[in-house]
Structure 1
Amino acid sequence: MYASQVHDYLRTFFTETNCEIVSDEGFQLTVQLTIDMDKKIMNRPFYWQYIEATDSEPNPTRLMLITDRTRIQNQFVGEVIHFGSGRLNQIFKATKELGSFVQMYEDVAGTDNQTTLTPYFCVNYKVSYYCDQTKEKIHSLGINLINGDIEDNFHESICNLNLQSNIPEKAFCLQYIIKPSRALERLDMMIQNIITQDDHSWAEEAKNRWEKELEVLNYFYKDTEEKPEVYEIEKKGLEERFNPRIKVEIINGGIFYLK
């Protein structure tokens, strides 16, 4: 997820959650949080307990988020946010809680004739590659519920469309042929195929680092016939640290009726 994608995601997130965007410079975003959003992403439970207990005037946080550190001279004036950062993970979590599934319709205002809208089923996946290092990727997959065509980067393809939660006037929505449950199965198969075809040299490199660390550990205990308990603990710790593993999570999804 590139800096520009993170920036677009944040802009959309804060707009949809009714937070005022004070300034947007393309690489730096200043946002005035609402009370609800401050509670969700700022980790200030004691502050809000005090405000509510004393009936004091609340002061939600104003965030200055830097999405591209290469374009700013003084990085201490705001919070650098990037894919994998704690703050962005909090926002992902809030997104999941607020809108795990949506149903949206493309706006057809300005058209004189009835417009046919086609249903698409979208799932946003987070794929995490774990070892002693961590790498995460976002895959947004969308499937046409009429013909079954699957599109990668689906979110990017619709982020500039005008979408609304109600069926527009002069719009006719096609009834889907592929059921959402079946669509989810096909997208799950697709994400597994993407993972299979991905470069997994990171796992082999992690295994090599694991073996080198194990050699060092064994060296310190080479003269010990019966290995102590601490040896087994350290050995198990190395295994847990370097063992390659992959985790797939669904962030959110929805049905989108598009022209």
Structure 2
Amino acid sequence: MYPQQVHSYLREFFTENDCTILSEDRHYLTVQLTVDIDKKIMNRPFYWQYIEATNSEPNPAQITFITNQTTSSANLYGEAIHFGSPRLNQVFQATRELGAYVEMYEVVDPTIGQAILTPWLGINYKVSYCCDRTKEMLYSFGINLLTGVIKKNFQETLCKTSLETAPGENVFHVQPIIKPIRALQRLEAAINAIIEQDDHSWALEAKKRWQRDQRVLDYFYEDIDDKPECYDIEKKALEEQYETKIKIDIINGGLFYLY
């Protein structure tokens, strides 16, 4: 996930959850959190317990997130946030808790008269390549529920589009031809195709590191015929550490009617 994608995702998340963006550049954004979002992503349970117990005035955090660590952002004071960082993972978790699925309609200028909105299913995926090291990637796809056309980087399109939770009076939204469950299967096939075409040398390298550490472990116990329980425990720990797996998680998604 590139810095600009992280930036766009955060802007969309905070805007949708009524957090005021106080200032912003392509390297950072400063946000006034709401009470609910502060509780979900700022790790201040004792503070909020005190506020609620004493019925005090809440003071949700105001924070600057630095989304691109470059020379132009070197003098910024704030929290660096990037794909794989604990804070961004908390934002992903908050997204799931607050509502992983939405239905929204593009706002169309009423002066153009009657407008027809086309249904799209949009899904944001997180793909994790896991072993003793973890690599995570974010993919965003949209599929047209009339034609079946799949569009990459769909989240970026949504970030540039004005959306509301109810259709405007001047729009007519077409009902989907392709069922969402079938569309989801097509998107899963698309994400699997990307994974299959990716470079998987990381798995081979992990296997080599596993074999190396296994040889070291065997060396320490090579003169012992009846291996003790601690040997089996350490061997199992190496397996859990180096075993390679790929996880595909849906971060969120929705049905979007676009002009």
TM-score normalised to structure 1 length: 0.95
Aligned to 1:163: 163
* Counterpart AA for 2:143: I
Tell me, in whole angstroms, the C-alpha distance in 2 between the residues paired with 1:139 and 1:3.
13
Q: Which runs of 5+ in 2 are unaligned?
A: none
Asked if 1:48 is matched to 2:48, the reply is yes
Residues 122-180 of structure 1: per-residue CA shift (max 9 Å, x gap): 11111111000001111111111111111221112232011111112221211111111
Tell me, in whole angstroms, the C-alpha distance in 2 between the residues paired with 1:4 and 1:149.
25
TM-score normalised to structure 2 length: 0.95
Aligned to 2:17: 17
* Counterpart AA for 1:84: G
Distance apart, 1:190 and its partner CA: 2.0
Q: 8 Å contact 2:128–2:136 — kept in the other structure?
A: yes
Residue range with higher mean Cα deviation, 239-248 or 148-157: 148-157
Tell me, in whole angstroms, the C-alpha distance in 2 between the residues paired with 1:119 and 1:251.
20
Instruction: Extract structure 1 runs of 4+ deviating beyond 3 A.
Output: none
Tell me, in whole angstroms, the C-alpha distance in 2 between the residues paired with 1:11 and 1:158.
12
Distance apart, 1:74 and its partner CA: 4.5
Tell me, in whole angstroms, the C-alpha distance in 2 between the residues paired with 1:176 and 1:240.
44
Tell me, in whole angstroms, the C-alpha distance in 2 between the residues paired with 1:66 and 1:120.
32
Q: 8 Å contact 2:122–2:140 — kept in the other structure?
A: yes
Identity %: 59
Residues 198-257 of structure 1: per-residue CA shift (max 9 Å, x gap): 211111111011111111111111222221111111111111101100111111111111
Which aligned pairs between 1:61-140 and structure 2 lie closer than 5 A? Answer: 61-71=61-71, 72-74=73-75, 77-140=77-140
Q: Which runs of 5+ in 1 are unaligned?
A: none
Q: 8 Å contact 2:8–2:156 — kept in the other structure?
A: no
Evaluate the alpha carbon distance shift between residue 84 and residue 220 of structure 1 in structure 2; reply closer, same or farther with a 3 A threshold: same
Tell me, in whole angstroms, the C-alpha distance in 2 between the residues paired with 1:105 and 1:20.
22
Asked if 1:213 is matched to 2:190, the reply is no
Distance apart, 1:110 and its partner CA: 4.2
Q: 8 Å contact 2:110–2:170 — kept in the other structure?
A: no
Tell me, in whole angstroms, the C-alpha distance in 2 between the residues paired with 1:28 and 1:114.
39
Aligned to 2:236: 236
Tell me, in whole angstroms, the C-alpha distance in 2 between the residues paired with 1:258 and 1:86.
33
Residues 4-26 of structure 1: per-residue CA shift (max 9 Å, x gap): 11112112211221112222122
Aligned to 1:196: 196
Aligned length: 258
Distance apart, 1:111 and its partner CA: 3.7
